[in-house]
Structure 1
Amino acid sequence: MISFDLIGNTPLVLLQSFSNKDVQIYAKLEQFNPGGSVKDRLGKHLIEMAIKENKIQQGDTVVEASAGNTGIGIALAANHYDIQAVIFAPEGFAEEKIAIIKALGAKVIRTEQTLGMTGAQVAAQAYEQSTGAFYLNQFDSKHNPDAYQSTLGKEITDQLDNVDYFVSGVGSGGTFTGVAKHLTAHQVESVIVEPEGSILSGGQPHAHDIEGIGSEKWPDFLSKSLVADIIKVSDEDAFNNVKRIARQEGLLVGSSSGAALQGALEIKKHIKQGIIVTIFPDGSDRYMSKQILNYKE
């Protein structure tokens, strides 16, 4: 086995302190991927599909817009296949993720914070047009949800005999879409968690402190038929849950994981029994500069 083979097959754990005999909450610990997040799966799949479709070959350059984790996953896969990677990342996100991308050998170009991910996408597209690099375009690629359907989705049903609810945050929408598609055949209700300031359940977009999830538009490949409900989560609840998960479960996770747990707890309030599965996308180690474990203290 080589390190690249460590992507996937992450642990699924029972969150004992948040469960009881009637309702159990399980979490997939995606920080156990070699790049530390669920997006390792995406980076691997996007690069491999671009090679398979003859869009790139050894020595070529790919470009992507990412706040961090997808950039890390792409850098890992690019290294494996001897591809160069350029990542456009908005200012304002955790600097640890940017440092990791650079450590993996990718070039990082920062974009204006106020323009958000949309500004980074525009810059990445312009870079493709001016240089001939291949724009992977995670936000619109059909390969995004495919990266999770037969991997993360199947792992969940392989690891648990029964699942009643799946709850996940949405950024590009690929993780939720891919897993929800797989779970549809298992009669699972799939629920989206989004920060206040994300627009999937309505309202105007605005800034939020939860990183990695939240949308400025409805993802093109996310079918509304897959969505049983959408739960809004505040920054305060998400970050308080990060601290609770650390102290009660011994798991150091990111703010999107705290948001995902809040969604699971909201579902738990309204059911008498069942099994809820969620995704903890990454760890808290890459957010220490943002005071993730001391939020507003």
Structure 2
Amino acid sequence: MPSDLNQKIYVAGHRGMVGSAIARNLQAKGYKNIITRTHAELDLTNQQAVKTFFETEMPDQVYLAAAKVGGIHANNTFPAEFIYDNLMVQNNVIHQAFVNGVRKLLFLGSSCIYPRLALQPMSEDALLTGKLEPTNEPYAIAKIAGIKMCESYNRQYGASHGVDYRSVMPTNLYGPGDNYHPENSHVIPALIRRFHEAKLANAPEVIIWGTGTPRREFLYVDDMAAASIFVMGLDKKTYDSQTQPMQSHVNVGFGSDVTIEEVAQAISKAVGYQGKISFDPTKPDGAPRKWMDSARLNQLGWKALKDLEAGLELAYVDFCTHNQSLVKL
């Protein structure tokens, strides 16, 4: 067995959609020493607890997928929690990783770090060039801080300590392990649940927030996990060839986007709902378009594999499998 498969790898947030996909993909690749902790076992907002964990476990690599996430409603309703929890988690994990000799760390950000009216597709260079989308600004600021924290530790400790902390910015993700909360989830899981419930109730119509015209890019979560492991596996010279010293993050996207109306129709088809789809223009749309420029990652040799139609079918199967209380209301 290659020695790198024996590395001790800590996946923070392994119960979340992205973290579970990363752990699943690492196991499939033969990694045998994956460390995880539930929130009950380790509160990542607790500085002392995180310090003790790193001093005890001494991981070789860290995938920082732990975060407080949610859709427009959740971000609007709980802005204090979104900025506080995310800042505390990433500050504690990144700093203790450094203190305890972790040289390789991957921080997972979000496409919301880019300005609301950024040129499309959004390139890595768009960071900090304009105003953020107001509905999720606290979350976005926390994620920007995480990127800059990784860059700062690289800048100060890269040469002297071999620190190599990287950041990936995924587009909108969906798939196994998603959050299907009726109010606090993202657009795809929220609509999967709504269309499923409408199908069971034989509802004649499903009304969706906004105009349906904003465009979004969606990436199946196992593709995101594969991209994360791919980025971590690149040698520093190769990775640095597509990044800049003070802008060392890379985008991870599918490569094309669709309107909210189009994704609603695709979800309706995957679920088997036959009723009418309407939109409520009195509700917020969010950013008019969010499409990532993933050219840097593509040039490094990675591309997404799962298209939206196939991914939605798998997501709906996962929803039905893991939400038995909702399958037959």
**TM category, shorter:** 0.3 to 0.5
Structure with higher Rg: it is 2
With normalisation by structure 2, the TM-score equals: 0.31
With normalisation by structure 1, the TM-score equals: 0.33
